Structure 1
């Protein structure tokens, strides 16, 4: 038997009443989060997710997300993996209070979730055909429509709601831009110009130069949009090329849904298209035209899309620079980090707004 307790603690399959034959790590992050692909004795493929409790979502939000995904699945959206409920989740009493079942198990300092392993593979932009793109945009639109209807059934809460209000993504990014212009950008320049890793140092300098050029314009656009109400609803927020799975030319899965929250649908469109097409503005514009064959965007929504796209391009490299700065790491960066930061930097350097003025 290939399954090892040091990979997934025995308490996890026991709680879910599973016999795991093997479990292989397929992804991991700086936080200690990881995903394992597991095979069970009855032939099922499962995704087992480990998340350190210190970086996990608030428990109430995790429960509400599970309820939303469950309702969406019941309403016919078969592209999303709904976390399983532990089979042996015994009722617990704490101070005489009943604790309801939750779709995760805590083992020491980690939260564990199990969900179906979705079939298919992700595609890079150069592998994407027109048929793939059309299928992806249809799937994205379906997710948005079913999510909106699901909220009408399960009700609204702090994280998942249908409403008319300014885009939370705009407000959040405006705060980041203000922080950069009020001193963080200068700190990044000063500290990272002496970084021990020559490759990281070179990329950081390019990113900071690009930010110096574009931040005034971006701040102006975000400020204008921050007071305009838009239709917000549950969206994926963290959708990018690795999270859309295909088999042949059909979408078979939308995965890694923990970032789901309410915002305008264009936040998903901006992030997904840039992840596929990078600096290829022509292909992005064509994809937006394809999207609008199903979901017309007003002129104000197109401006929102352009600004969310701009902030995606210009601010994404900042995450990597801040992580390096705050960690105080003097070691050589891994090849994966340099490759990802190089891709983001190349796109940021060639940034132009999506639509002509």
Structure 2
């Protein structure tokens, strides 16, 4: 612990004077499943978040993420853009070279709590979807890294990957996952995994068939968040005051974000889905094919997320890291199984 504090103080000094005066508190250990390290930093009269990025991060990838964050923050959205280094105002990442390169960023603290599930109100749902639409509108003017600026229409990379993954599950991966779960120790989580496999097996033929269309469908593409869900939206009363975690951003269809957020917040509540879609449309219209894509994003994402958790829990736990919070993982899988049950009955 003493060595960690020394490392945090030394790292903080890349941005702030007198870093030894700061107070540190760990955030999200065992609950983010991202491999990142997060610390709340109190320094003088301000609060920050210090982030150590996952080992898989690269300087090029961080540059993409930070440029988008700064673009959105400049549009007065509830996004915390990383701060510039004290001695390099054009740089935002501190790199520590040890056995492996480590990348660190420091961002302002955003007020609010990710507590929609505790206080699910219509006003909050509307605020969430309007905020997402505002993020998409602002992001549409941010040039993709592989195009000459602005949004474009093409096949969705995410939907192509999902079609491939569904096909692989149908071709034998699902049966292989079942064999790993069967060999696991008896537990409530293993029973939950068996339920996930059974529901997925029933839903898989229909979704795999539908994926043929979405593999080839052209959709509007632009920068999107890709991991916008309950825990990444902060609320102050009924207003969104923070959008967190840009680690998964990429150029893809905004329909994927709409599906990810609505599925996370309201599950299979059709009336709430419509309320959220209407709120989103009050800022940014979704074309009919985007609306249809959102439904497939949601259904396929539910099944594939459940299978990912089964994979991580029973076949390869390396993605979860050594300090995984197993009760939290169980709760995540439990929510997915509840939705799979409805999906399998269609």
What TM-score do the two structures reach when normalised by structure 1?
Answer: 0.85
* 8 Å CA contact 2:130, 2:282 repeated in 1: no
Asked whether the equivalents of residues 161 and 234 of structure 1 are also in contact (C-alpha less than 8 Å), the reply is no
* Residue 44 in structure 1 maps to residue 50 in structure 2: no
- Residue 254 (structure 1) aligned with residue 243 (structure 2): yes
CA deviation vs aligned residue, 1:45-102 (integer Å, no higher than 9, x gap): 101111242x22x32121122122223322x233111111221359xxxxxxxxx845
User: 1:134 is matched with which residue: 116, 126, 144?
Assistant: 126
Partner of 1:62: 62
Contact kept in structure 1, 2:116 and 2:124, CA below 8 Å:
no
Pairing 1:180–2:169 present: yes
Residue of structure 2 in register with 1:121 after alignment? 113
Residues 1:165 and 2:163 are matched in the alignment? no
Cα RMSD (Å) of the superposition?
2.6
Q: How big is each residue's C-alpha offset from its partner over 1:127-155, in whole Å with a ceiling of 9 and x where there is no partner? A: 12111112112211111111112x2xxx4
Larger RCO, structures 1/2 (Cα 8 Å, 6+ apart)? 2
The verdict on how the C-alpha distance between 1:257 and 1:339 changes in structure 2, with shifts beyond 3 A counting, is same
**Residue 88 (structure 1) aligns with:** 87
Q: CA deviation at 1:328?
A: 6.7
Distance of 1:79 and 1:283 partners within structure 2: 23
Kindly tell me the number of residue pairs found equivalent between the two proteins. Answer: 333
Q: Quick check: 1:240 aligned with 2:243?
A: no
Q: Does the C-alpha gap of structure 1 residues 81 and 326 become closer, same or farther in structure 2, counting only changes over 3 Å?
A: same
Could you say if the C-alpha distance between residues 68 and 295 of structure 1 is closer, same or farther in structure 2, counting changes exceeding 3 Å? closer
SS at match of 2:332: helix
Q: Is the 8 A contact 1:77 1:143 kept in 2?
A: no
- Is 1:35 the counterpart of 2:38 in the alignment? yes
- What SS class does the counterpart of residue 118 from structure 1 fall into? coil
CA distance in 2, matches of 1:294, 1:78: 14
Query: Is the Cα contact below 8 Å between 1:232 and 1:262 reproduced in 2?
Result: yes
Distance 1:167 1:312 in 2: 14
Mapping for residues 202-351 of structure 1, pairs under 5 Å:
202-327=191-316, 334-351=326-343
Q: Structure 1 residues 227, 79: closer, same or farther in 2, change over 3 A?
A: same
In structure 2, the CA distance between the partners of 1:146 and 1:30, relative to structure 1 (3 Å rule), is closer
Q: 1:212 to 1:138 in 2, by over 3 A?
A: same
Preserved contact between residue 121 and residue 246 of structure 1 (Cα < 8 Å): yes
Q: Report the alpha carbon displacement of residue 170 of structure 1 after superposing the two structures with TM.
A: 0.5
User: In the aligned structure 1, how far is the partner of 2:35 from the partner of 2:24?
Assistant: 17
Shift, 1:201, TM fit? 1.7
Q: How far off is 1:32 after superposition?
A: 3.7
1:286 and 1:156 mapped to 2: Cα distance? Answer: 31
Flag as ranges the 4+ runs of structure 1 deviating above 4 A: none
**CA distance in structure 1 between the aligned counterparts of 2:139 and 2:23, rounded to whole angstroms:** 34
Distance 1:89 1:212 in 2: 54
- Structure 2 residue 189 is matched with structure 1 residue 191: no
Q: Unaligned regions of 5+ residues in structure 2, if any?
A: 319-323
8 Å Cα contact 1:207-1:345 kept in structure 2: yes
Q: Taking structure 1 as reference, are residues 101 and 287 closer, same or farther at Cα in structure 2, changes over 3 Å only? A: closer
Check 1:323–1:161 CA distance in 2 against 1; reply closer, same or farther (3 A cut): farther
Q: In 2, are the aligned partners of 1:66 and 1:103 still within 8 Å (CA)?
A: no
